[in-house]
Amino acid sequence: MKIMNRSRLFLIFLLLCLSCVVQAKEEDTRYLLSKKTYELLNDARVAMDEDNYQIAVQKLNVYLNKEEIKAYDKAVIKQTLGYAYNAQEDYQRSIESFVQSVSTDALPDKVRHEITYIIAQLYIHSEKYVEGLSYLDKWFEKEANPSADAHLLAASAYYQINQFKKLIPHAKTAIEKSATPQQSWYELLIAGYYETKRFRDAALLLETMITKYPDNDSYWLQLIAVYQQNKQEKKALAISELAYEKGILKGEDIIQLAQTYLYLQLPLEAAEILDSEINNGTIKPSKENIELLSNSWLLAHDEEKAALVLERHVAKINDISLNFKLAHIYVDLENWDKAEQTLETVVTDKNITTQTKIEASAWLLLGISSYHRENMLRSKQALNKALAFKETRDHARWWLNQIEEDTSNEQSNNS
């Protein structure tokens, strides 16, 4: 990247010539170039204006090596070499020349101030961020009204060396000072907020970014995440709903929306959105997602829809826990036929012995279901299995006693 173009170079030379005359009147001959130096610089300017930078550099270096010249002349020549090297994209020599120019303390304050900024730019664009920032700090100290670009330069350099706390004020000022701040400037500032965990500031900035760039899906998703980080679940939900309507949410983002509904005790909304997206193929009917959907219907007190979801998917997923959940819903609905049928599938599953809690409850519920279907033989078999488990032993014993009592009463009535 060239810091100076040809038009800018010509202007610099013109300003230097004018400043020499003005400064000479004000401070004797301190800033007056010798005639020979002036003529050399004019020749160099002509050469550079014709893109003959190598010729300009050669003439300037020969003059420096042969002539006994005063500090001001030397500083101006070094400055000119800096421009020439920069035009050739020889940034290392450009930096060296500019640094030597300001190090003489022979230049007028205004010129030295301008070159200090150029040195900072060259260092930073050469990825020597610490060195560049040291010169940029000096420049900021004496600059009455730094531009938005200057603050952006500082923010970008601080980002590169992971000094995010120092990045923030420069990025903010750059945005505030510019009539048309670029999108990347906002992204630089948001990065500073994230890295310093200033999530409330990040949320406010993302609100602005969404207003300015509503078609950038990532900003919507980031704002949702930041609201959740800030425990602002209602705001997260509001933005999630808008993003969903815009078609921004996909896959896991939709699942996150459903989970937010559940967190805010809105299970019906969670169930409806999950049901719709699983049916249209946006969300995969995995075990976890089907379980989340069925749980949402259960929390919405719609056991029948929960059962329908499981009936539609348990055969494909073939998971013992989902089969048991379906059986449990049938028991709650007092649909004893389907409960018994499903529980038989559970207790004969090859993985039943690895699921102790399910095994215990399944035998108990099978015993209860068979009892209500008046299948007493199977009921007693299942309940005796349930006796083997500590967590179901008492309930199994009660139902076995109930069967004995019923049998005894029936015998008494028949006698």
| Rg, the chain, Cα only | 40
Question: Does the CA dihedral 8-10-13-14 come out positive or negative?
Answer: negative
Helix axes 267-279, 303-317, angle to 10 degrees: 40
Q: Which residues fall within 8 angstroms of residue 93, CB to CB, at 6 or more apart?
A: 81, 85
In this structure, are residues 157 and 129 in contact, taking their beta carbons and an 8 Å threshold?
yes
Total length of the chain: 415
pLDDT given at position 31: 78
Quote the pLDDT of residue 29. 66
Determine contact, residues 120/139, Cβ cutoff 8 Å: yes
pLDDT along the chain (415 residues), means of 10: 46 46 52 88 90 92 85 92 92 95 91 95 96 97 95 98 98 96 97 97 97 96 95 94 94 94 96 96 94 97 96 92 96 96 94 91 96 94 95 95 86 67
> What pLDDT sits at residue 1?
43
The confidence score (pLDDT) of residue 11 equals 44
**What's the confidence (pLDDT) of residue 20?**
47
Q: Quick count: other Cβ atoms within 10 Å of Cβ 327?
A: 30
Question: Using N-to-C axis directions, what is the helix angle for 199-212 and 183-195, rounded to 10°?
Answer: 160
Distance CA 183, CA 165 (A): 20
Distance CA 49, CA 375 (A): 105
CB 171 within 8 A of CB 155: yes
Distance between CA atoms of residues 339 and 287, nearest Å: 21
Check residue 352 and report its DSSP letter.
G
Could you identify the residue written with the tokens 């998971």?
A: 319
Do residues 266 and 298 touch, judged by C-beta distance below 8 A? no
pLDDT of residue 22: 45
Please report the pLDDT score of residue 3 as a whole number.
52
Asked if 346 contacts 328 with a C-beta cutoff of 8 angstroms, the reply is no
Q: Among 83, 2, 68, 7, which residue's Cα sits nearest to residue 37?
A: 68
Helices and strands per DSSP (H, E), number in the chain: 22, 0
Domains of the chain, residue spans? 1-144, 332-410
Contact at 8 Å (CB) between 306 and 297? yes
pTM passes above 0.75: yes
Rounded Cα gap, residues 370 and 399, in angstroms = 11
192 and 164 in contact (C-beta within 8 Å)? yes
What residues contact residue 414 under an 8 Å CB cut-off, 6+ apart? none
Provide the sign of the torsion angle of the four alpha carbons 243, 249, 255, 256, taken in this order: negative
| Contact between 192 and 224 (Cβ < 8 Å) | no
Taking the C-alpha atoms of residue 175 and residue 179, their distance in angstroms, rounded to an integer, is: 8
In words, the CATH class of domain 1-144 is mainly alpha
